[in-house]
Chain A
Amino acid sequence: MEPLLEARGIVKRYGHVYALREAAFSAYPGEVVALVGDNGAGKSTLVKTLSGALTPDAGEIRLEGTPLRLTGPLDAQRHGIETVYQDLALAPDLDAAANLYLGRELPRSGPLGMLGVLDRNEMRRRAVDTFGDLGIRLPDVAAPVRRLSGGQRQCVAVARAVVWASKVVFMDEPTAALGVVQRRQVLDLIRRVRDGGVTVVLISHNMPEVLAVADRVEVLRLGRRVARFTAADTSVEELVAAMTGGIEQEDAA
């Protein structure tokens, strides 16, 4: 099968420091692929490159086989690529529906819409549908996001990315600050997103979690891809070995 999103030979340099040395990455349609690596392996830099936040110094990114030059995160969004940021990036004083449509508000039809009047009922209705479809339960969609729990907020952030992503969603440590129950909520949500046909790229430090939710795992070490695994056929020990230099697959880079 052809990869949905593929990166080859990505180089990113800060002065004399190489964050990425000809890194490679591939994500296939409708899968959850985990990107793992030790601190400083280049995970975040690679994700920022793929989601348009950074411009690589060299290398090629292809989306569905076509070369892609991203000018910024908004450009990536136009190509159906969304990112869930580690620090949520929600407006805490707005409600869940407003956050879902933040920056992409639906105007009313007719002359009122031309004056910039928003269709709040339609946005709320669609938001409720979306949360329902994704199995996200909120005590009150009209409450400011500030009043939701950490897990619920993370779900809103994920939902926002999913609604607008037609191809790929990047999630940078989506469960880092969450408790056990909330963590399970978010992992269930990731599976649902995948089942809906959107590819999820998961960046995580938590190896058991990676093996529980991912279909495949790609390992970065010192700015290069050093190994690729099918989640069902690998173990935490093998992943850790790859991350720390114990295993290196010849064909991975």
Chain B
Amino acid sequence: MSTVREPATDETLEQDVPDGRWARLLRGNTLWTFLVLVVLAIGFSVAAPLAFATPFNVRNILADSSILLVLAIGMTYVIVSAGIDLSVGSVLVFSGVIAANVMVSMGGVTAGWGGIALGTLAGLAAGFAWGVLNGVLVTKARVPPLIATLGTLGMALGLAQVITGGSDVSRVPSRLSNLIGYGLALGQVPWLAIVAALITVVFALILAFTRFGRHTYATGSNAEAARRVGIAVDRHLIKVYALSGTLAGAAGVLSLARFSTTTIAGHAFDNLSAIAGVVIGGASLFGGVGTIAGTVIGVLIPGVLRNGLIILGAQRFWLDVAVGAVLVLAVMFDQVRRRARERE
């Protein structure tokens, strides 16, 4: 390494302390979406004080959002890398079916922790395999991510139905559903939410602080630039899709725990919900931008909105209208602020 030695002037040193951490936070997206979440929570608490802001209901929201959050974590990586993964819901179902079948063969409802662990591993492996297939299709076969994962969406769901003959596998070990599905840690926090939180924290740290995360942003921001500096872009993208698939596998096992069955027909829109969460959280579909913190908030906003509206007695069908409107508003607001920033 060689640099030119010359005395630095005062002006050049100023770049060290620009306008501070707070200014950057205000410019960023996460703070604003967090405020929206807080305002929603306060609004519902005021409107329905006895029903909304109760430990029981907060547990409900957390448990309801946990599985979607795990999908959205993987989706954040994919979207930051300038891709998309439509297959997550189907991969969740497929992995759940594989995991359930393994657990059934290990004793079904009465299976022990060994069988549950083996089933979980099988589910994760199934998700990983679909993810690798997605990654290889996108990078080596040069199929656009939207199409590649639309294809695996159909294949994973179809194969899940072929394996099960179209009917759900429901002899899920009761140990799994009692602990992870309904269990509360310290009698207060759903285990489901704790598992989701652990996954979230680990992958938030990886995305923000490691070389893997940095290369994910670089690939999504300018793949050609990444390639020129020697980043193995194709291999990196395969890893990113593999991560998304593996987390969909984990979500499949969590779903087994929560519903005690494979819920084959219940995940058709999980992909869009996950994408919506990531985008509300401030990620750009063009890649290079997005954080896990944003995604957590982006998943919780529709979750809180649905829950609050139900408590206020809104007709069920209005929920989808509200969540759809929030998605569009979030992106519009972000665009306006982005343009204002460019004009600065």
Contacts and interface: CB of A to CB of B under 8 A. Distances in A.
Interface of A: 73-74, 77, 85, 88-94, 98, 102-105, 107, 115-118, 120, 128-143, 147, 162-166, 192-193, 195-198
Interface string B1-40: 1111110110111011011000010000000000000000
Given A118-B214, A196-B4, A131 B12 contact: yes
Interface residues of B, number: 40
Interface stretch (B54-62, B123-131, B215-223, B303-311): B215-223
Among A107, A115, A120, A132, the most chain B Cβ lie within 10 Å of the Cβ of A132
A95 to B, nearest CB: 10
Given A128-B16, A166-B1, A90 B210 contact: no
A128 B14 CA distance: 10
A116 B212 contact: yes
Given A102-B225, A129-B3, A74 B12 contact: no
B289 interface: yes
Contact of B12 (A85, A92, A135, A196): A135
B221 A92 contact: yes
A165 B2 contact: yes
Contacts of A117: 209-210
Contacts of B218: 91, 94, 98, 102-103
A233 to B, nearest CB: 27
Given A115-B210, A117-B209, A90 B225 contact: yes
Interface of B: 1-6, 8-9, 11-13, 15-16, 18-19, 24, 206, 209-212, 214, 217-218, 220-222, 224-226, 228-231, 287-289, 341-342, 344
Contacts, number: 126
A140 B12 CA distance: 10
Among A93, A128, A138, the most chain B Cβ lie within 10 Å of the Cβ of A93
A140 B24 CA distance: 11
A71 B219 CA distance: 23
Contacts of A128: 13, 15-16
A163 B15 contact: no
Contact of A103 (B212, B230, B289, B344): B230
Nearest to A195: B4
A162 B5 CA distance: 13
Nearest to B27: A143
B341 to A, nearest CB: 7
A195 B6 CA distance: 10
A173 to B, nearest CB: 17
B12 A102 contact: no
B214 A132 contact: no
Given A91-B222, A118-B209, A134 B4 contact: yes
A76 B126 CA distance: 42
B2 A89 contact: no
26 contacts: A88-B225, A89-B222, A89-B229, A91-B225, A92-B222, A94-B217, A94-B288, A102-B214, A103-B226, A104-B229, A116-B211, A118-B211, A128-B16, A133-B3, A133-B6, A137-B11, A137-B12, A140-B15, A141-B15, A141-B16, A142-B18, A163-B2, A163-B3, A166-B2, A195-B4, A196-B2
A164 B228 CA distance: 14
A89 B225 contact: yes
B2 A140 contact: no
A117 B211 CA distance: 6
A132 B6 CA distance: 8
A118 B210 contact: yes
Contacts of A98: 214, 217-218
A193 B4 contact: yes
A142 B24 contact: yes
Contacts of B15: 128, 131-132, 137-141
A99 to B, nearest CB: 8
